[in-house]
Amino acid sequence: MSAHPARACGIDFGTSNSTVGWLRPGAATLLALEGDKATLPSAVFFNADEETTHFGRDALAEYLEGYEGRLMRALKSLLGSSLMDGSTEVGGRALRFRDLLASFIGQLKTRAESQAGRPFEQAVFGRPVHFVDDNEVADRRAQDTLEAIARQVGFSEVSFQFEPIGAALHYEAGLDREELVLIADIGGGTADFSLVRLSPERAGRTDRRDDLLGNAGLHVGGTDFDRALSLECVMPLLGYRGLMKNGVEIPSNLFFQLATWHTINFAYTRQAFADFQHIYRDAAARRELDRLARLIGQREGHWLALQVEQAKIDLSSGVTTLLQLDRLEAGLTHGISREDFSAATRNLVERVAATVGSLLDQAGVAREKVDTLYFTGGASGVPQLRARIAAELPQAHCVEGDLFGSIGAGLAMEAARRYG
């Protein structure tokens, strides 16, 4: 490490959580962004009662305290989507999604500079291997949009590094021998993999292209696990897969909106309410739809999504969890088991495993040649997902990195290398 602080920072703008890393002697790499916490949840709450804007844990706390307003999460998922050029209503006015992202990334910059006691004009941003699956034009547009937003908030020089490579650089700093490593970075929005040769000697090289044997990724992450768990185990309590009087299933669009973070507010529009009233008149599942009516009427969609997210977390460490759903119906509880969670997410897990297998095949690397499987990203803690990936590499030693910090720390190293 240089005897002087780096000029630039590394920014991991994540779907669920974000970090900023800055390499300087004798100090932690990650900067505190909210109190003493190095992570800032990627959430914004517009408080309509007090006409204030809140970020991170503060945003979630304001929402849960019951203030009127708009909670936005999974902001990164907007990049590369058709929503990016649109807007949403906040406090009776239109707010462009592009400006929403700028407000959050501007906060990352402001908070990092406050902690560092100096401005940052250069930054290396992490990016998923694919912002958008199987669409190079849309993928490039997503990166260009993020770069334009970064410049809008005050960065004069912006470059990018794949997020799993950032994690690889962080892991490599602690190695004492060469390893062939599969980096598994599974965050809130994407699952990304890099197969890379790492060693103390290789760490000093400027050009690492020969060490990178392959990258692969897909748009599956923690929010997808939340959605699958919600649809399979919670939304049936609200009428999902219930029946109309004529025997056909209740239309599912509203349930999918409520199970997906960045579309929850669409369930509160006049059109959505008119559609719901039409369904209610002809539905057989009245008790469940009464709960749904209460959820929509009280705008409790984000509250329910938080309960589902917590259930996912609980089931990653325990075998059962009990949801307290009294806001939907007095005394309502609902138990979910890890087996339920595994069944709900089986297709997602298999898609991720297939991506790992494809990467190894394309790189021409035999499974038994991989020394280490390195996990980072919050969703890599989902047990059925971790076990399935590990099954692809039966000889590899599994290592758990800093699930929320290794990418930001590695990007800080890359920023110091690129900008001094």
Model pLDDT for residues 171-201, shown as the tens digit of each residue: 999 999 999 999 999 999 899 999 999 999 9
Q: How many domains does the chain have?
A: 2
Lowest mean pLDDT among 76-90, 294-308, 347-361, 388-402: 76-90
Do 93 and 157 lie in one domain? The reply is yes
In a domain, 372, yes or no: no
List, as one string, the DSSP characters of 392-405.
H-TTSEEEE--TTT
Do 71 and 171 lie in one domain? The reply is yes
Do 66 and 156 lie in one domain? The reply is yes
In a domain, 211, yes or no: no
pLDDT at 287: 94
pLDDT tens track for 218-258: 999 999 999 999 999 999 999 999 999 999 999 999 999 99
- Long-range (24+ apart) CB contacts under 8 A made by 43-52 are 43/71, 43/72, 43/73, 43/75, 44/71, 44/72, 44/75, 44/100, 44/103, 44/104, 45/69, 45/70, 45/71, 45/72, 46/70, 46/72, 46/90, 46/91, 46/95, 48/91, 51/91
* CA–CA gap between residue 19 and residue 9 (Å, rounded): 10
Residue 329 pLDDT > 60, yes or no?
Answer: yes
Do 113 and 29 lie in one domain? The reply is yes
Do 172 and 242 lie in one domain? The reply is no
In a domain, 327, yes or no: yes
* CA–CA gap between residue 181 and residue 144 (Å, rounded): 30
pLDDT tens track for 363-415: 999 999 999 999 999 999 999 999 999 999 999 999 999 889 999 999 999 99
pLDDT at 48: 83
Do 160 and 244 lie in one domain? The reply is no
In a domain, 357, yes or no: no
* CA–CA gap between residue 362 and residue 279 (Å, rounded): 49
pLDDT at 92: 76
Domain of residue 270 covers 223-344
In a domain, 363, yes or no: no
Q: Which residue has the higher pLDDT, 48 or 111?
A: 111
pLDDT tens track for 71-114: 888 889 889 888 888 888 777 788 888 999 999 999 999 999 99
Lowest mean pLDDT among 58-62, 203-207, 299-303, 388-392: 203-207
Do 243 and 320 lie in one domain? The reply is yes
Return mean pLDDT, the chain. 93
Residues 6+ away with beta carbon under 8 Å from 212: 165, 194, 195, 196
Residue 417 pLDDT > 80, yes or no?
Answer: yes
In a domain, 291, yes or no: yes
Q: Which of 321, 344, 367 is the last residue of a domain?
A: 344
pLDDT at 66: 81
pLDDT at 67: 83
Do 19 and 100 lie in one domain? The reply is yes
Residues 6+ away with beta carbon under 8 Å from 75: 15, 42, 43, 44, 100, 101, 104, 262
In a domain, 196, yes or no: no
Q: Which amino acid is at 290?
A: D
Residue 2 pLDDT > 70, yes or no?
Answer: no
Mean pLDDT of 27-36: 96
pLDDT at 256: 96
Kind and range of the H or E run holding 247: none
Query: Percent of the chain beyond pLDDT 90?
Result: 78
136 contacts 146 by C-beta, under 8 angstroms:
no
Do 72 and 136 lie in one domain? The reply is yes
- Number of Cβ atoms within 10 Å of the Cβ of 135: 13
* CA–CA gap between residue 102 and residue 117 (Å, rounded): 22
Q: Which of 296, 312, 344 is the last residue of a domain?
A: 344
Do 52 and 143 lie in one domain? The reply is yes
Instruction: Please report the beta strands in 128-243, taking only residues with DSSP state E, as ranges in sequence order.
Output: 157-162, 179-186, 191-198, 212-218
- Number of Cβ atoms within 10 Å of the Cβ of 317: 10
* Pair of tokens at residue 398: 């599994």
Q: Which residue has the higher pLDDT, 55 or 48?
A: 55
Tell me the pairing of strands 40-41 and 43-47: unpaired
Q: Which of 344, 359, 376 is the last residue of a domain?
A: 344
Considering Cα of 402, then 403, then 405, then 406, what sign does the dihedral take? positive
DSSP 3-state assignment of 338? Answer: helix
Residues 6+ away with beta carbon under 8 Å from 53: 44, 45, 46, 47, 103
| Angle, vertex CA 219, rays to CA 345 and CA 262, nearest 5 | 85
pLDDT tens track for 111-143: 999 999 999 999 999 999 888 888 899 999 999
In a domain, 213, yes or no: no
pLDDT at 70: 84
* CATH code for the domain in which residue 121 is found: 3.30.420.40
DSSP 3-state assignment of 130? Answer: coil
Mean pLDDT of 349-366: 96
DSSP 3-state assignment of 200? Answer: coil
* CA–CA gap between residue 12 and residue 9 (Å, rounded): 10
* CA–CA gap between residue 162 and residue 324 (Å, rounded): 39
Do 229 and 317 lie in one domain? The reply is yes
Residue 68 confidence class, pLDDT cut points 50, 70, 90: confident
Residue 1 confidence class, pLDDT cut points 50, 70, 90: low
Do 85 and 233 lie in one domain? The reply is no
pLDDT tens track for 146-179: 999 999 999 999 999 999 999 999 999 999 999 9
